[in-house]
Chain A
Amino acid sequence: MFPAQRSRRARAVNNRILVIDDNEDFRLLAQLALQAENFDVSVAANGHDGMSLLRKRGVDVVVTDIVMPEQDGIETIAQLRKEFPAIKVIAISGAVSGTGFDYLKVPVQLGAARILRKPFDIQELVRLIRELAPAE
Chain B
Amino acid sequence: MPEHNPPLSDWDNPAAQVLHGRAGDFGQSQRLEAMAELSSEVAHDVNNALQVIKSAVEILRRRLPSGETDVARMVDMLSRNADGAASLMQQLLGFAGRLPLEPKPVDVNELIAGMAGQLREAAGSGVSLETALGGELWEICVDVGGLKTAMLNLCANGRDAVAHEGVLTLETRNVQSANSTAATGNGPALGEYVAITVRDNGSGMTPQVVAKVFDPYFTTKATGKGAGFGLSQVYGFMKQSNGYIDIDSAPGKGTSVTLCFPRSEAAGPAP
Residues of A within 8 Å of B56, CB to CB, are 25, 29
Asked if B148 is at the interface (CB within 8 A of a chain A CB), the reply is no
Interface of chain A residues 62 through 121 with chain B (CB within 8 A): 67, 94-99, 102, 104-105, 117-121
Asked if B199 is at the interface (CB within 8 A of a chain A CB), the reply is no
Q: Is the beta-carbon distance between B59 and A29 smaller than 8 angstroms?
A: yes
Q: Is the interface of A mostly helix, strand, loop or mixed?
A: loop
Q: Contacting B51 at CB < 8 Å: which of A32, A96, A97, A118?
A: A118
Residues of B within 8 Å of A30, CB to CB, are 55
Interface of chain B residues 49 through 73 with chain A (CB within 8 A): 50-56, 58-59, 62
* Distance between Cα atoms of A99 and B97 in the complex (Å): 8
Residues of B within 8 Å of A94, CB to CB, are 43-48, 50-51
Interface of chain B residues 209 through 263 with chain A (CB within 8 A): 240
Q: Is the beta-carbon distance between A97 and B58 smaller than 8 angstroms?
A: no
> Residues on B close to A: CB < 8 A?
40, 43-48, 50-56, 58-59, 62, 82, 86, 93, 96-100, 240
- With contacts A26-B55, A30-B55, A118-B50 known, what are 18 further pairs, Cβ within 8 A? A23-B48, A23-B51, A25-B56, A33-B59, A36-B62, A94-B46, A94-B48, A95-B43, A96-B43, A96-B98, A97-B99, A98-B98, A99-B97, A102-B100, A119-B50, A119-B51, A119-B53, A119-B82
